[in-house]
Structure 1
Amino acid sequence: MSTFTAPKGTYDLIPPTSAAFLAVRDALAAPLRAAGYGYVETPGFEDVELFARGVGESTDIVTKEMYTLTTKGGSELALRPEGTASVLRAALEANLHKAGNLPVKLWYSGSYYRYERPQKGRYRHFSQVGAEAIGTEDPALDAELILLADQAYRSLGLTGFRILLNSLGDRECRPAYRAALQDFLRGLDLDEETRRRIEINPLRVLDDKRAEVQAQLAGAPLLRDHLCEACRAYHAEVRELLTAQGVAFEDDPRLVRGLDYYTRTTFEFVHDGLGAQSAVGGGGRYDGLSEMIGGPALPSVGWALGVDRTVLALEAEGITLDVPPVTSVYAVPLGEEARKVLFAVVADLRRAGIATDFAYGGRGVKSAMKSAHRSGAWFALVAGGRDLADGVVQLKNMESGEQEPVALDAVVDKLRSRLG
């Protein structure tokens, strides 16, 4: 009988690699926690209609990439392909916007699912850290989120990423641009499916990654030439606030995010060391999304940063994170009496916040010390009958090999001071 393997396009996170992923998640979330964002967690699946309305029925995500299922009760559900629609749904359902403290600031972390052609940096199951600021229209909020993402990436030591910035206009100025873009696109040599997209959401055509389509888009009208005065002023302030904080960005008049709900500020973080899958994160303002999914008007802005892509970016720059070992101390008992005594010492060390492991299985000292080395522990605690008769255990420095006796009742304090 053959063993099972992970589904195509997915992966398992196992030690020691998983430690780097956890460190990246923590680093991406840390600036958010320091800026007043509270944690939210939503189900891994939602009503299909939430994404059809929110993400957009003409997007590849909804038409081609969404995993859907029918429940025994006949409900149509989808594994979440992105986080924003779910988080906004949760905030509306809990009436967080009525608590009187806007914007509602939320951050989240989790797995998302899209049926895509698997390749390096693009999986069918991927991990993101995201942030949403719900209920306030303010260029300072857009700038804050971009700044927080910039801080998160830099805290990991990344320098090879770029921030692309654009404005997609709003319901006042977008219609005129949409009409101009449709006129341009109708004159191109495009396949039938893309031609249908022109009528539903022409901006999605600009996001088409195929070289034969991109080659024809060189003369396409630019949104920045059609922005109303309010959108121009709003975008100018976002740029000004970022510049004042020393955040470097590139104006990209052709930047269009692949989701229908974006308005005004849109941005993407790209890393040139990742090849075709260069985007490591992105987001923007989505002032109309709440109304699209049945809520009140709640102007909002947010982003999602890919944990998988960020790990690849670290590898591309040759950055190895300084991840502390899982185990700081490894206890090796010699004999049954020592096993019981050291088991109690291990429990005391763990209660004191010191990561400690134990040589289980009654192995010999040689085998147990090999395990101690493999664990990455800084120190080993070794004790036999003679040590216990003297009321001590042997504390061994795993790096230098130096060993000293320590009184049983002083082990916790000794290791606290040694481990800092």
Structure 2
Amino acid sequence: MNMQAPRGTQDLLPGTTESWQYVERKLNDICHRFNYKEIRTPIFEHTELFQRGVGDTTDIVQREMYTFKDRGDRNLTLRPEGTASVVRAFVQNKLFGLPNQPTKVFYFGPMFRYERPQQGRMRQFVQFGVEALGSADPAIDAEVISLAMSCYQELGLRSLKLVINSLGDTESRENHRKALINHFEPHKDELCSDCQVRLDKNPLRILDCKKDRDHPAMQSAPSILDYLNEDSGQYFNKVRHYLDEMGINYIVDKNLVRGLDYYNHTAFEIMSDAEGFGAITTLSGGGRYNGLVEDLGGPETPGIGFALSVERLLMALEAEGINLPTEDVVDCYIIALGEESVTEAVRLTYKLRKAGLQVDKDYQDKKFKAQFKTADRLNTKYVIVLGENELEKNVVNVKDMHSGEQQEVGINELENYLLNELQGGK
């Protein structure tokens, strides 16, 4: 019997989860300031959602999805990404009918992809994402990009590189598609088997291939920027103008295409240049996906979004030596000696917790000194000592673990005393 965590998954233990919680609070706060609301979707969806929404030619759909049949013989898939689920919820719940548009949402949640586990790439990973549905204004493209950059900058990261590109509208992409086919057709037999299939179905994906990235034909491939029609070119210029106005530095990369079929117009990635971060430098990516809502049964609705891996975000923080302020401290620890004192300690612990304090006590019948050692290991601010003598006088001894000072306080006054002391020390 294998009782280990499945390959590609991990346990996040106390001591580690505090960093995750801090990051989640920070990202939640940023979304609040940008006026994005949280959405929560199911962990599994009908398989067809991802086949239609993500695209049949993507690596995700072809080989990375966890798909199974339920007892009703329905094909279900553990979600490999968040956008398709958000758009499905947008259509199903008719969020397009709400008076305030665009609909701006964010999400946290586990995603699942069957790929070779490596540092920063797990089979179950946590993704944070943002979607803005209902606006074709290039200013919201810039807003989404600025939100993504804020997520990293406000956590202290500095070795960042923003790369952007335009994939154009339908006309621009079709002209570029024809140029790519003409360019790669003479080299078809030299390409990997996946790219040979992509050449007919979606030649743009060839530019995203990891196996053929060093092939000479990749370096001379036609650029989408040379095939943008007037409207697409103006759109991209406006996005760049807004980024310039916000003081956000970027690099235009003509080969940036992203790995999902639904992207058009703006595409972007944020990378880490930190030394020692690893060979895979991408932290997050996203772009515009006009047409996806219609593909999933909704009305014509433009959209844009991005997603980041929390695991890779934490890796980037580690690479830059950034320690998050997650000091774990306990407000007070109650040491009780004697059966009646233990009973009173149970009551006091509950009362102080209800007052908003972080409180703990012994549950292993340890000796007095051992309990003090536990309080010290927990980084406790105040230790409350309650024995038979104290109980008779209806008092407790309060020790300030920082200064070493000790004071006798009435049990009925303890709550106010601790609240005043703790607030004064903040």
TM over 0.5: yes
Cα deviation, residue 191, structure 1: 2.4
The Cα offsets for residues 11-44 of structure 1, whole Å up to 9 and x where unpaired, read as 1111101110111122222211222211111111
Residue 305 in structure 1 maps to residue 305 in structure 2: no
- Tell me how large the CA RMSD over aligned residues is: 1.6
Kept in 2, the 8 Å contact 1:281–1:303? The answer is: yes
CA contact (8 A) 1:28 1:149 kept: no
Report the equivalent of 2:199: 198
Q: Post-superposition shift, 1:213?
A: 4.6
Moved more, 376-385 or 59-68: 376-385
Matched residue SS, 1:186: helix
Instruction: Provide closer, same or farther for how the CA distance between residues 75 and 140 of structure 1 changes in structure 2, counting only shifts above 3 A.
Output: same
SS in 1 for 2:171: coil
Equivalent position amino acid for 1:220 in 2: A
Question: What residue number does 2:392 align with?
Answer: 389
Give me the whole-angstrom Cα distance separating, in 1, the residues matched to 2:302 and 2:414: 57
Distance in 2 of aligned mates of 1:121 and 1:264: 29
In structure 1, the residue matched to 2:293 is 290
Q: Which runs of 5+ in 2 are unaligned?
A: none
Offset, 1:396: 2.2
1:260-299 equivalences under 5 Å are 260-273=261-274, 274-299=277-302
Residues 1:403 and 2:406 are matched in the alignment: yes
> What is the CA–CA distance in structure 2 between the aligned matches of 1:50 and 1:178, rounded to whole Å?
25
Residue-by-residue CA offset, 1:227-255 (whole Å, 9 max, x unaligned): 11111111111111122112122211111
Offset of residue 377 of structure 1: 2.5
Shift of 1:117: 0.5
Measure, in 2, the Cα distance between the counterparts of 1:26 and 1:184.
48
1:169 and 1:271, CA in 2 relative to 1: closer, same or farther beyond 3 A?
Answer: same
Moved more, 403-412 or 8-17: 403-412
What's 2:243 paired with? 242
| Other-structure match for 2:256 | 255
- The residue type equivalent to 2:278 in the other structure is G
Distance (Å, rounded) in 1 between the aligned partners of 2:228 and 2:420:
62
Asked whether the 8 Å contact 1:267–1:283 carries over to 2, the reply is: yes
Residue of structure 2 in register with 1:95 after alignment: 94
Alignment partner, residue 59 of structure 1: 58
Query: After TM superposition, where is structure 1 displaced by more than 4 Å over at least 4 residues in a row?
Result: 211-215
Q: Deviations over 1:256-288 (max 9, x none)?
A: 111111111111111123212211111111111
CA distance in 2, matches of 1:396, 1:187: 81
Match of 2:335 in 1: 332
Aligned residues of 1:30 and 1:152 also touching (Cα < 8 A): no
> Following the alignment from structure 2 to structure 1, what is the Cα–Cα distance between the partners of residues 313 and 111?
16
Is residue 419 from structure 1 mapped to residue 418 from structure 2 by the alignment?
Answer: no
Q: Is the 8 A contact 1:325 1:377 kept in 2?
A: no
Rounded Cα–Cα distance in structure 2 between residues aligned with 1:97 and 1:31: 24
* Alpha-carbon distance change, 270 to 5 in structure 1, aligned in 2, over 3 angstroms: same
Residues 96 and 272 of structure 1: CA distance in aligned 2, closer, same or farther (over 3 Å): same
2:128 is the alignment partner of 1:129? yes
Normalised to the residue count of structure 2, the TM-score between the two structures is 0.94
Q: Secondary structure at the match of 2:164?
A: strand
The answer as to whether partners of 1:110 and 1:127 remain within 8 angstroms in 2 is yes
Deviations 1:66-110 (A, max 9, x none): 000011111001100000000110111111111222111111100
CA gap 1:339/1:215 in 2 versus in 1, 3 angstroms? farther
Q: Go from structure 1 to structure 2 and tell me whether the alpha carbon gap of 1:202 and 1:328 turns closer, same or farther (over 3 Å shift).
A: farther
CA shift for structure 1 position 326: 5.7
Provide the C-alpha distance between the structure 2 equivalents of 1:215 and 1:357, rounded to a whole number of angstroms.
65
Q: Percent identity?
A: 42
Equivalent AA in structure 2 for residue 272 of structure 1: D
Give the whole-Å Cα distance in 2 for the aligned partners of 1:232 and 1:355.
57
Corresponding residue for residue 78 of structure 1 = 77
Q: Are the aligned partners of 2:135 and 2:303 in contact in 1 as well (CA < 8 Å)?
A: yes
Aligned with 1:363 (options 362, 366, 369): 366
Q: Is the 8 A contact 1:29 1:129 kept in 2?
A: no
Letter in structure 2 aligned against 1:328? D
Larger deviation, residues 333-342 vs 282-291:
333-342
Moved more, 116-125 or 319-328: 319-328
Cα deviation, residue 211, structure 1? 5.6
Quick check: 26-35 or 84-93, which moved more? 26-35
Q: Cα deviations across residues 95-130 of structure 1 (Å, max 9, x unaligned)?
A: 111122211111110000000101101110100111
Partner of 2:323: 320
Count of paired positions: 419
Letter aligned with residue 402 of structure 1: E
The correspondence of residues 340-359 of structure 1 with structure 2, limited to 5 A, is 340-359=343-362
Contact 1:286 1:301 in 2 (8 A): yes
Matches within 5 A, 1:35-54: 35-54=34-53
CA–CA separation in structure 2 for the residues paired with 1:354 and 1:324: 16
* Partner SS state of residue 271, structure 2: strand
CA-to-aligned-CA distance 1:124-168 (integer Å, 9 cap, x gap): 010011111111111111111111122221221111121111111
Q: How far did residue 216 of structure 1 move?
A: 3.6
* Cα shift at 1:223: 0.9
Q: Distance in 2 between matches of 1:86 and 1:106?
A: 12
Matched residues in 1 for 2:209 and 2:379: separation?
47
Matched, 1:106 2:109: no
Q: Deviations over 1:340-364 (max 9, x none)?
A: 2222222222122222222113221
Distance 1:179 1:42, change over 3 A: same
2:380 to 364, 377, 381: 377
